[in-house]
Structure 1
Amino acid sequence: MTTGTRIVGFLIAMAAVFAVAFGVGRAVDPWGGDAPAGPPGVHQQHTE
């Protein structure tokens, strides 16, 4: 096997690993879901 073939094989394997990790990450914690809840509000008294 030549050096070029090994490098290409390594790059393809790395791309596959990152693609699988990205897919699992999207399945577990998808982007664009519900917005995170903000801090609780403070009740302010009404004045008249």
Structure 2
Amino acid sequence: MSGHFLIVEARFYEALADAQMAGAIRALEAAGASYERVSVPGALEIPAA
């Protein structure tokens, strides 16, 4: 699964966001993929990211 991915994360529930981000980054790095990360305050802001 090599490639480049964009991760858009909503930070409203920080503990949940941190856990999900850690898992996503771990999986992408294990697959040799690169990524960019964009954080927004909540889910409603995701389309504007």
- TM bucket, shorter chain: 0.3 to 0.5
Question: If the length of structure 2 is used for normalisation, what is the TM-score?
Answer: 0.40
Q: Answer 1 or 2: higher relative contact order, Cα 8 Å, separation at least 6.
A: 2
Question: If the length of structure 1 is used for normalisation, what is the TM-score?
Answer: 0.41
Higher strand share: 2
